[in-house]
Amino acid sequence: MLRILILEDEERVSDFLQEALREVGYEVDICATVAAATQRAALYSYDLLIVDLMLPDGDGRDFISAFRSTHENTPVLIVTAKGRLQDRISGLDQGADDYLTKPFALGELLARVRALLRRNPNSPPILTFGNLELDPSTRKVTQAGEPVYLSALQFNLLQHLIRHRGEILSKQDILEAIWDDKGFRDPNTVEAFVSQLRARLETKGHQRVIHTVRGAGYTAELRHDPS
């Protein structure tokens, strides 16, 4: 799962961003100060940073400049109320890859996130499996060239099965790998999500790719056996 760090001191904004990004399948951490973000970025690896400029203990541009000295390729998106041309120029010159002013449309922010992740050389490669293609960076799925629209959990389940193609994964294995709430242990949920995925993927005569192994779990295989 791709991981994003948000540096934003306004709790209403950071909570909104976290919820929206988690809804589409990203793992999200929040920091409210430059000091906390600096510590986080030193401890963990992130695929993208979203940074405000006006922070209680400094300027987001200074944080970006320091971050760039050790993280050359990680994309950075500035999201700020400061919209003057000079602010934009300064933010980009100090290492940001994109700049978005508040207030913003959520759809535009998500599109910019997807675009930045596509350009990241550290982004995971596209997964292919039969006529399926999964892009972990943009979280888009196509089947025979046509888009397949999946929820965040459906995407994570399909990605996990394809990464472990040919292996038999028990319901417990899948629960622990896909669901964030490690206390959640209802195997029937896995069965329900597998059923939903099959319904999405087996339209228009496409062959089954997720197979049930009786008494053991599920496996992703390319075969013509409908079981």
H or E element in which residue 101 lies: strand 98-101
| Partners of residue 29 on adjacent β-strands | 5
* pTM across the whole model: 0.65
Q: Is 200 exposed, middle or buried (0-12, 13-18, 19+ CB in 10 A)?
A: middle
Give the length of the chain. 227
Matching CATH number, 3-119, of 3.30.470.20, 3.90.650.10, 3.40.50.2300, 3.30.300.20: 3.40.50.2300
Q: Beta strands 210-213 and 217-220: pairing type?
A: antiparallel
Full pLDDT tens readout for the chain, 227 residues: 788 999 999 999 999 999 999 888 888 999 999 999 999 999 888 999 999 999 999 999 999 999 998 888 899 999 999 989 999 999 999 999 999 999 999 999 999 998 898 877 666 778 899 899 998 877 889 998 899 988 888 888 999 999 899 999 999 888 888 876 555 567 788 888 999 999 989 887 788 899 999 989 999 998 765 44
Query: How far is the C-alpha of 222 from the C-alpha of 63, rounded, in Å?
Result: 48
pLDDT tens digit sequence for 110-141: 999 988 988 776 667 788 998 999 988 778 89
pLDDT tens digit sequence for 22-54: 888 888 999 999 999 999 999 888 999 999 999
Residue 20: phi, psi to the nearest 5? Answer: -65, -40
Residue 183: phi, psi to the nearest 5? Answer: -85, -5
Give the per-residue pLDDT at 180.
61
The ranges assigned to domains in the chain are 3-119, 127-220
Specify the CATH number of the domain 127-220. 1.10.10.10
Alpha helices (runs of H) in 24-105, residue ranges in sequence order: 34-43, 60-68, 85-93
